A and B are shown apart, each in its own frame.
Chain A
Amino acid sequence: MGDTPADFLEFAHARSDQLFRTACLLTGDRHLAEDLVQETLAKMYRSWRRIDRTQAPVAYAHTVLVRTFTSYRRRRSAHERPVDRLPEGAAAGTGDPDLRLTLLDGLARLAPKDRAVLVLRYWEDRPVEETAQMLKIGAGTVRTRSLRALQKLRAVLGDDLLADLERI
């Protein structure tokens, strides 16, 4: 650890929890989420000296996270299938367990980029334009993907939770 920049360690410790939570929603699996965060922070470490710390390394980290996720899932897309069983790692915790497991099931049925759009828009509260920039797609595509993903999610979660969400 001797040659590890102190400010990188500080950044990584401060941001790893939030990155992990986002990764859990993206992957639905805590082990995959840990791998995703590890890869994200490793890429940050590799480029740390070139990253302009006066800009927004936090936003950069989240961009690396979602792009790593979509890239990884794209390579694995031929093997991806919607899961009917509940994702591993949904351990008992806080909140409504039925809602939690159903949400994970619903997210798992979405295409990776659709999932990323929902997580960025509704979990990280990022505006359409920023979501588009992070995923390297157009703002119109973000809106289309949001609409499509919400319709699929509504089919799993029911109308109560997602009523009126389609108007975005």
Chain B
Amino acid sequence: MSPDQQSGRSLHDAMQHTSDAFGPHRTDLVLRATARGRRLRLVRRAQIGAVAAAVAGAAVLGATQLPLLAAPAPPTAVTPAPTVGPTPTGTSTPTRLPSASPPAGGPRSGPVSAQLAAFLPPGTTTRIASRGSFVDGRIIVTSDGSGSPQGFVAYDDGKGRAAVSVSVLDTDLHDLTCAQPTKPLFCDVLADGTVVKANKSTLAGGQLSWNVSAMRPNGRRVEVSEFNTDVVPYDNPTATVTRAEPPLTIDQLQAIALSPHWDR
């Protein structure tokens, strides 16, 4: 370890001790934040409604259209740099064992959407978008803010198009644990310490979101999601439902998430 790294570690340790001393925050912090967030959302809706009314009024009067107030976009995601974090402690007997031989996938290079598409069963696959780069197990984060690698495809098994996505990131925050206040579909800690968590959610617009996340002990986290819409409804809240359910089973999602394809 270089002197700079050692000194940086000293300051980090000092900050660790200092922040430890503050103890935990109030237990109702999240509840208060949620209530505050709900108020902020109402205010935003009122502002948007007021602007929309103004635009409509201007149109009636033959005036030029007023610019709509666009809500500020979230900043470009950045990949958290590695920090010293807790390692998963304790293991439990998995309730759902991963398949004996997880699929290997295709080439570990090229667009991330193509790498995801290689896992999908026969059907029609359209690559929607890829962000970042994933090459031979390495996550390449560029300075332009492209962030962690993600791939999005529209997949049709003959029952309707559906968006499927994968994201890969490295973090030592180990923020995926089974100790969560909301009950997932299932959450297991595998024998090697990998945490696997699955969720089935119904979004505000009635869209279905199925998701499996796998956090490996070395901090690599792979998230595979699918929807019963042909675009990702998180980006398009009004996305139209294209089929009754997402196309892949949870087991298939889990197999993709646990594939060695995404390993370092």
> Which A residues fall within an 8 A CB radius of B?
1, 3-10, 12-18, 20-22, 24-25, 30, 33-34, 37-60, 62-63, 89-97, 99-100, 103-104, 118-119, 121-127, 129-130, 133-134, 157, 161-165, 167-168
Contacts and interface: CB of A to CB of B under 8 A. Distances in A.
Interface string B1-44: 00110111011101111111111111001111110111111001
Given A7-B201, A45-B41, A60-B75, A52 B232 contact: yes
Given A34-B25, A63-B78, A161-B10, A54 B18 contact: no
B83 A54 contact: no
B76 A133 contact: yes
Given A7-B182, A103-B14, 6 more contacts: A42-B36, A58-B80, A58-B171, A59-B79, A125-B82, A161-B14
A162 B21 contact: no
Q: Which 8 A-B pairs have the closest CB atoms?
A: A45-B37, A95-B17, A93-B21, A41-B33, A55-B77, A42-B36, A42-B37, A21-B19
A162 to B, nearest CB: 6
Interface of B: 3-4, 6-8, 10-12, 14-26, 29-34, 36-41, 44, 71, 73-83, 143, 145, 147-148, 150, 152, 165-167, 169, 171, 173, 175, 177, 180-182, 199, 201, 203-204, 223, 225, 232, 234-235, 237
A60 to B, nearest CB: 6
Given A7-B201, A9-B182, A50-B237, A24 B40 contact: no
A44 B67 CA distance: 25
B182 to A, nearest CB: 5
B34 A56 contact: no
14 contacts: A5-B201, A30-B25, A33-B25, A42-B39, A54-B150, A54-B167, A55-B147, A57-B77, A91-B22, A93-B22, A122-B12, A124-B81, A127-B81, A161-B14
Given A42-B33, A46-B40, A89-B22, A59 B12 contact: no
A52 B235 contact: yes
Contact of B33 (A38, A55, A90, A161): A38
Contacts of B78: 56, 59, 63, 130, 133-134
Contacts, number: 236
Nearest to B45: A46
Contacts of A125: 12, 81-83
Nearest to A54: B167
Contacts of B26: 34
A37 B22 contact: no
A140 B44 CA distance: 36
A92 B21 contact: yes
Contact of A129 (B12, B38, B39, B143): B143
Nearest to B80: A59
Contacts of B30: 9, 12-13, 16, 41
Contacts of A91: 21-23
A46 B19 contact: no
B11 A25 contact: no
B25 A37 contact: yes
B17 A100 contact: yes
Given A58-B171, A125-B82, A164-B4, A96 B71 contact: no
